């Protein structure tokens, strides 16, 4: 199979491209090398595949590339919460307009297989249960609670603290940031394209991905990279809230394998199938900071309270659908993955 990997010079996309090539597929990488992500217009040294520099929004460029491929693995996106509302046009352009262009050109070229990099951020807050009222949507987070150090979501009916549960793919979708809104819009655009074109879409909802080639020292970097960068400077990782917020940390090698399995799976023509790409095993942000501090032989984490406006308290996914439909199970254990991450090569800092 000849696969076009958009964003294939980036953190996740480059690992996807490597694994596809190792499994015998032909790979073409398309990447714009955006300065806020790469800091340079030079392709990274680790990129060993056919490389085309350009934007997913470039219709003429796509037309030429898509004439020779069998499927598209769409990893290209501007990531992160978004620093403030002024970021919204850039997110909408790169994530949604560019995706619309890609889908239109795929239809014109007769390419009917798409694997879309989606995200757990489409869920917003995770899934919660109240001892009295069962599964409920939590009440909105109040700044007064954050200021008082009360971080657990409350039941909107009785005000009790809620208990987190695993999030299935059919959970309500409630994006809470600009980035999250654009990722959900990507899913909607791809679902409409699938219905209209009789095409197949797997929407892989990544959870907290970490591993080699993560970007560092940028506002868009993941929490694991931010902690690692602090430790490299000899500083303690700064943990917001009380450090007990739960996440699902999944290694990038597992994420690449999920993409391979989705590309090779038949899927359902005319439908978008969302799948959580996760471990299904919760760990706290504090766990991550402590494990990484130990592995780097650095200072203990510093818990500072507070919260960012778009942060959610707990989100840990149900891995059952990925196991059933793709035979995917994460295999990199958290402790081993974090120990390796302490010395994994990261991308050069963006100045």
Sheet with 71-74: strands ordered across: 50-53, 26-31, 2-6, 71-74, 113-119, 200-206, 271-277
Helix/strand/coil percent split, the chain, to 5? 35, 20, 40
Q: Exposed, middle or buried by CB within 10 Å (0-12, 13-18, 19+), for 338?
A: buried
Q: How far apart are CA 59 and CA 9, in angstroms?
A: 20
Beta strands in the chain (DSSP E): 2-6, 26-31, 50-53, 71-74, 113-119, 127-130, 134-136, 163-167, 200-206, 208-210, 238-240, 246-247, 249-251, 271-277, 283-284, 302-305, 316-317
In order along its 351 residues, the chain shows pLDDT tens digits of: 999 999 999 999 999 999 999 999 999 999 999 866 666 668 888 999 999 999 999 999 999 999 999 999 999 999 876 667 888 999 999 999 999 999 999 999 999 999 999 999 999 999 999 999 999 999 888 889 999 999 999 999 999 999 999 999 999 999 989 999 999 999 999 999 999 999 999 999 999 999 999 987 665 568 899 999 999 999 999 999 999 999 999 999 999 999 999 999 999 999 999 999 999 899 999 999 999 999 999 999 999 999 887 789 999 999 999 999 999 999 999 999 999 999 999 887 665
What is the number of other CB atoms lying within 10 angstroms of the CB of residue 125?
23
Q: Indicate left, alpha or beta for 248 from its phi (over 0: left) and psi (-120 to 50: alpha).
A: beta
Q: What is the pLDDT of residue 332?
A: 97
The answer to whether 245 and 223 have CB atoms below 8 angstroms apart is no
Q: What is the pLDDT of residue 169?
A: 97
Q: What is the pLDDT of residue 346?
A: 87
What are the beta bridge partners of residue 209? 250
Q: What is the pLDDT of residue 218?
A: 64
Which of the four CATH numbers 3.40.640.10, 3.40.50.720, 3.40.50.300, 1.10.10.10 does domain 2-127+165-342 have?
3.40.50.720
- pTM of the complete model: 0.95
């Amino acid at each position: 199979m000849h696969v076009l990997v958009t964003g294939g010079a980036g953190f996740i996309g480059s690992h996807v491209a490597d694994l596809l090539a190792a499994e015998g597929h032909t790979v073409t990488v398309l990447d714009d090398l955006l300065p806020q992500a790469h800091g340079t217009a030079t392709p990274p040294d680790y990129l060993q595949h056919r490389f085309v520099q350009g934007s997913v929004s470039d219709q003429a460029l796509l037309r030429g590339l898509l004439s020779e491929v069998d499927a598209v693995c769409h990893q290209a996106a501007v990531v992160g919460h978004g620093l403030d509302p002024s970021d919204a046009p850039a997110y909408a352009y790169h994530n949604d307009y560019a995706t619309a262009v890609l889908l239109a050109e795929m239809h014109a070229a007769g390419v009917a297989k798409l694997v879309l990099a989606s995200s757990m951020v489409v869920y917003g807050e995770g899934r919660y249960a109240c001892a009295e009222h069962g599964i409920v949507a939590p009440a909105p987070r109040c700044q007064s609670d954050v200021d008082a150090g009360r971080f657990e979501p409350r039941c909107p009916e009785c005000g009790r603290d809620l208990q987190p549960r695993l999030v299935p793919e059919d959970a309500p979708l409630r994006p809470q940031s600009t980035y999250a809104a654009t990722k959900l819009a990507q899913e909607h655009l791809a679902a409409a394209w699938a219905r209209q074109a009789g095409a197949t879409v797997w929407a892989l909802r990544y959870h907290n991905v970490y591993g080699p080639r993560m970007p560092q020292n940028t506002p868009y970097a993941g929490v694991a990279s931010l902690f690692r960068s602090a430790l490299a400077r000899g500083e303690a990782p700064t943990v917001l809230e009380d450090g007990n917020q739960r996440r699902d940390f999944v290694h990038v090698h597992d994420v690449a394998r999920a993409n391979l399995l989705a590309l090779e799976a038949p899927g359902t023509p005319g439908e978008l199938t969302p799948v959580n790409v996760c471990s299904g095993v919760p760990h706290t942000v504090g766990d991550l900071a402590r494990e990484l501090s130990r592995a780097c032989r650095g200072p203990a984490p510093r818990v500072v309270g507070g919260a960012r406006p778009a942060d959610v308290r707990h989100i840990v996914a149900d891995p059952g659908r990925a196991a059933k439909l793709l035979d995917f199970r994460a295999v990199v254990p958290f402790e081993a993955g974090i120990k390796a991450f302490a010395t994994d090569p990261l991308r050069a800092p963006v100045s």
